[in-house]
Amino acid sequence: MEKKKQVLSCIQPTGDMHFGNYFGAVKNWVDLQQKYDCIYGVVDYHAMTMPYSPKKLRENTWALIFNLIATGIKPEFLFIQSLIPEHAELCWIFNCFASYGQLTRMTQFKDKSTHGNEQDSGGFISAGLLDYPVLQAADILIYQADYVPVGKDQEQHLELSRNIAQRFNNQVGKEYFVLPETLFTEVPKVKSTADPSRKMSKSAGEKHYINVFGDEARIRKQIRSAVTDTGDSTSGEMSAGIQNLFELLKAGEQLDAYDQLMKEYENGTLKYVALKDAVADTLVNISNEFKARRKELDSNKKEVKNQIKASSANIRKKAQQTLRDVKELSGLMNVKF
C-alpha cells in the first residue's frame, strides 16, 4: 500500500472557537483524518508575537485542545507547539535561509504592524511578529508535510516555506525537503451576522462571532438579530446577510432545509424568521453535541492532558529526526540523545 500523504496544519490559541473557525478550518481537518496522515498543532509560540497575557495563553492552549478533541480531532494527531522546542530551533536555522526583505513584505506583518488597524499591536512591534512566517515554515517542514490545509490568506506564508526549503536544499546540495503544497478545499466563508460585509472574527469584537461552545440562548439571539437587510436589496441580488444565513445552513449540512428555503426565497415567499430558525437550530444542534463531548473530556481533564503530552512526545520524535538531519547537513553539531 502506498504511504499516505502527510497533512499538517496549525491554529493559534486565541480564545473561543467560533463557527467561522469551525466551518472554515476545523471541520475540514476532521474530514481530512479519513484520508491522510495528519498532524495538527496548537501553536502557542505564535500566539506570543502580539501583546498577550501569559496566564491566558496557557489557559487558551488547553481550552483549544479540549475543543478540538470535542469537535472530532483525534488526540493522537494533536500536539502543542511549545512541547516540541525543536520548532524554535529549526526556526533559528531557517532565519538564516529566509529573506529579510520578503518578511517585511508579508501582508499579515504589514496588517498587524500598522497602527490603527483592527489588530493593533499597541505600538510594540516585536521581532517575533516579523519572524512569525519563518516559525510557520519550521512547523511545516519539520514534519516533511506534503499538504497544508489553510485559507487563501496563508498562501504567502506557504510560498515563503517553499522558498526556505528550496534555498536550504540548494545550500546543502541535497533535495532534503519536499516542497509543501497548499491544500485548498472549498470551505464556507462565514461572515459576521452583525455585519455581513466582514468575516466572522474575534478581533472585531464579541458581536462579530458566534462561539461554538457558547450558550444556546446566546447563539439563538445572535442568529435572530442577524442583519438581513444590508441596503443592497434593490439591486435584486440576495443581500449579504441572507447569503450568509444560507451559507451557514449549507455548512451545517442541512441540505433539505436549504433547498426548501431557497425555493421559497426564489418565489418570494421566504420568511426570514423561518430561515433564521433553521440556522439557529442547526448551529445549536452542532453546539450541543460538541458541548456534551467537551463535558465528558472536562471530567477527565488530567487524563486528556496526559494524552496530549504523550502525543506531543510521540510527534516530537519526527521533529527531532528532521532537526538531526538538518544540523548534520548545515554543518552544526548534534547533541547526542
- The least CB distance from residue 267 to ligand TRP, in Å, is 41
**Among 243, 251, 250, 252, residue whose Cα is nearest residue 272:** 243
Phi, psi for 292 (deg, rounded to 5): -65, -45
- The least CB distance from residue 200 to ligand TRP, in Å, is 14
CB 164 within 8 A of CB 141: yes
Kindly state the DSSP code that residue 148 receives in the 8-state scheme: E
Active site residues: 112, 199, 202
- The least CB distance from residue 329 to ligand TRP, in Å, is 22
**Among 64, 79, 32, residue whose Cα is nearest residue 184:** 32
Cβ proximity to ligand TRP, 97 vs 109, nearer residue: 109
Q: Which residue has the cell 444565513?
A: 245
Cell of 267: 418565489
- Helix H or strand E segment including 258: helix 255-267
From the DSSP assignment, how many helices (H) and strands (E) are in the chain?
13, 5
Q: Which residue is nearest to ligand TRP (CB)?
A: 10
**Among 16, 24, 14, residue whose Cα is nearest residue 67:** 16
- The least CB distance from residue 140 to ligand TRP, in Å, is 5
Cβ proximity to ligand TRP, 136 vs 244, nearer residue: 136
**Among 265, 194, 271, residue whose Cα is nearest residue 226:** 194
Which residues of this protein are in contact with ligand TRP, per CB under 6 A? Answer: 8-10, 12, 43, 46, 136, 139-140, 148, 150, 154
Cβ proximity to ligand TRP, 40 vs 258, nearer residue: 40
Cβ proximity to ligand TRP, 2 vs 186, nearer residue: 186
Cβ proximity to ligand TRP, 18 vs 46, nearer residue: 46
- The least CB distance from residue 91 to ligand TRP, in Å, is 11
Cell of 125: 512591534
CB 146 within 8 A of CB 181: yes
